[in-house]
Structure 1
Amino acid sequence: MPQHDSTRTRRKKILRWTAWGALGLVLAGAGGTAYAWQHLNGNIEGTDVDAVLGEDRPGAQHNGAMNILLLGSDSRAGTHGEYGRGIAGARADTAMVLHVSRDHKKATVVSIPRDTLVERPRCATEDGGSAPAAHEAMFNTSYEVGGPACTVKTVEKMSGVRMDHYLEVDFKGFRKLIDELGGVDITTRKAIDDPGSGLDLPAGRHTLKGEQALQLVRTRHHVADGSDLGRIQLQQAFVKALIHRVNTVDPLSHPAKAYDLADTATKTVSADSGLASTDKLLGLGKDLKGISPENTDMITLPVTYDAQGPGRVLPLDKAARRVWSALRHDRPVPKSATRGSVADRTDSPVAADS
């Protein structure tokens, strides 16, 4: 395989997990003082999604509940040019909808498999043109044709749920965050050996530093069915462990460390214009800080395999409607909604330590 293609493939695999980092970055950054954060505004990249999407959107919730689309893509292949300035055909390889309850004490996370076939709406493109609507398009192509605004529009079309904000994060900053946190504790219920990601962990308790954490969230071979559905299980377990870890950070005891975490967060997070400032991210971080892993329900959009396309999945329409309805009405997603989904057939081999 040519070196360019090999490098491109490696980047795309690494960046599939990065949406899971956005939540941890914001939570960790919340430890910084408001004064310090005012010096970090210049780090944050913002996109005016509302201006692009206009008024033809689901109605906003006004009861205190909030929906945030967390994205991981290969649109920023590295950080500040160290890994290149991006590659053609960037895609949203990881996406999750974070629903925060009206009292900000509970959260639901819905992972959307990147290979889900969806009705992609017509989207504006960066050059001022438009990309036509597409029938049964792969979900991750939405970012490729129209950037984060198109992915937001696609999620809103398939769910009927308005996204109040979006956050996107690159992998290098997340790896640095894990190292600065001193690692994240997880327990493997069985050994994991994946030559593809480089991860080799025996069963038992582990403290994963940045590089191993990156390997874990890239792993899919020998996990569940070997697809991205298995990878999502690992990512969901890891983000719970990450939430637990950042909730232990005491900014008053370690102000310099808190500032470093905030600096990492603001350098690596991209957001809609409504969140692209340190005070807004600080406020969001404080809102999320009180949500424990035990009060975070993580599910994967109910799907079934596409008989016509190996590796592709189709939403289970009735079950998916129940999931999105629960978010619209700020209710827990019923366990029965994911029953029968191929994404809900096996347990994750990893558990978050508490």
Structure 2
Amino acid sequence: MSAESTPEPAIPGESGTTGRHRVRGSRRKPRNRGRGVLVMAWTAAGIVVLGGTGAGYLYFKLNGNIKSVDIDSALGTDRPVKVDNGSENILVLGSDTRSGTNQKLGGGPDDGSARSDTAMVVHVYEGHKKASVVSIPRDTVIDRPECTDAKGGTHDAASGVMFNSAYTTGGAACAVKTVESLSGVRMDHYLEVDFSGFQTLIDELGGVEVTTTKAIKDDDSHLDLKAGTHQLDGEQALGLVRTRHGVGDGSDLGRIQLQQAFMKALINQVKSVDLFGNPKKLYDLANTATRTVTTDSDLGSVNSLMSFASGLKGIGSSDMHMVTMPVQYDPANPNRVIVREAQAEQVWTALKEDRAIPESATEGTATGEADGVVSAG
């Protein structure tokens, strides 16, 4: 069916949901280590600039920057059925690698390990004019499936573990397997970005303008913002998307709300910059983006990314509906959340059927109480 013959799904307005309060005094002391970055930054910015890097002498350098993982081979055929309705699902992760520059930005030991603290399922609707973004909280308690990593190693299933343990255990392939098991939705592509690349990308864009409705101060993420409008540089932007206890109830859910607001501001910033009128800025952004990103093997070349970009760069911030996977605080541990199964099923069914996510899917779910603290410009 053509895009012209299928109505574009509506983007629901924000619902007046309220979250449950955590038990006072039972919250963990936030760990002084790196948090997941807003990985959609690369989708919104890096991918866009690749569309202008067709010059032959740049191709081989940029192509050589890209790292890819053959997820399809690792996962085999035991996966959800690929829905052929013109839509695409992309799992976007933020990695916290414990080595080099990332160790300085993220904190923690320089042990070479990697974690993923930010995960988003980006659903691009048929026609590629609108998208829904579903954030999956890292602290969600799940049953992790058995999985095979990209090197052929197998990892046993585990019950009652945190969602982000999948990436730590088996890397990208295990993360994709876990998301597909959790949602029943086939992931068509995979994108991953790291801390240092995110910070550099924001600086090369000239910063991003956001407005805060209240002061945000978080020594762990090196963030100190008064209420008002700010042009955030890379370090400040990284602090904003990392801060956990600087806003709301101090949970990962509040941080997700900040990340979603920042994503919209970033998309607006990208559209306001005359990239094609400044070849050096265009090259610097493309070079940073390709060095920062890890993709699935189908996107592991400049040509593939350029083709992919043509289907995303027309989507503006007003065309994106952003939600958090429906969860509630875990009665057994207020520092964790558990899936609200019936409402989560509404979300995943909507994506499988290429429909807008209904407002009823997120009504009454835990939010982190940070909604409205940050807005675009």
Question: TM-score, length-normalised on structure 1?
Answer: 0.91
CA contact (8 A) 2:99 2:112 kept: no
**Structure 2 counterparts to residues 136-175 of structure 1, below 5 A:** 136-175=160-199
Q: Which residue of 2 aligns with 1:48?
A: 70
Q: Which residue of 2 aligns with 1:204?
A: 228
1:69 counterpart letter in structure 2? L
Aligned-partner Cα distance in 2 for 1:179–1:127? 35
Task: Map Cα deviations across residues 59-104 of structure 1 (whole Å, 9 max, x no partner).
Answer: 1122221000001122464459998996355322110001111110
**Structure 2 counterparts to residues 50-199 of structure 1, below 5 A:** 50-75=72-97, 77-78=99-100, 87=111, 89-125=113-149, 128-199=152-223
SS in structure 1 opposite 2:274? coil
**CA RMSD, Structure 1 to Structure 2 (Å):** 2.4
Task: Flag the 1:221–1:76 CA change in 2: closer, same or farther, 3 A.
Answer: closer
Q: Which residue of 1 aligns with 2:257?
A: 233
CA contact (8 A) 1:71 1:167 kept: yes
1:300 counterpart letter in structure 2? T
Aligned-partner Cα distance in 1 for 2:45–2:245? 27
Aligned-partner Cα distance in 2 for 1:117–1:219? 21
Aligned-partner Cα distance in 2 for 1:227–1:10? 9
Task: Flag the 1:78–1:85 CA change in 2: closer, same or farther, 3 A.
Answer: farther
Aligned-partner Cα distance in 2 for 1:38–1:91? 30
Q: CA deviation at 1:246?
A: 1.1
Q: CA deviation at 1:201?
A: 1.2
Task: Map Cα deviations across residues 265-285 of structure 1 (whole Å, 9 max, x no partner).
Answer: 100000110011111112222
Task: Flag the 1:345–1:335 CA change in 2: closer, same or farther, 3 A.
Answer: farther
Q: CA deviation at 1:19?
A: 2.3
Q: Which residue of 2 aligns with 1:6?
A: none
CA contact (8 A) 2:90 2:121 kept: yes
- Structure 1 unaligned runs (5+)? 1-8
CA contact (8 A) 2:137 2:324 kept: yes
Task: Map Cα deviations across residues 287-324 of structure 1 (whole Å, 9 max, x no partner).
Answer: 21100100111110010111112311000000000000
**Structure 2 counterparts to residues 281-296 of structure 1, below 5 A:** 281-296=305-320
Aligned-partner Cα distance in 2 for 1:342–1:351? 20
SS in structure 1 opposite 2:34? helix
2:241 corresponds to 1:221: no
2:92 counterpart letter in structure 1? L
**Aligned equivalent of 1:249, options 273, 277, 292:** 273
Task: Map Cα deviations across residues 172-210 of structure 1 (whole Å, 9 max, x no partner).
Answer: 111111111111010111121222222111111111011
2:58 corresponds to 1:34: no
- Structure 2 unaligned runs (5+)? 1-28
What percentage of aligned pairs have identical amino acids?
53
Aligned-partner Cα distance in 2 for 1:127–1:143? 14
Task: Flag the 1:119–1:81 CA change in 2: closer, same or farther, 3 A.
Answer: closer
How many residues are paired up?
345
Q: Which residue of 1 aligns with 2:13?
A: none
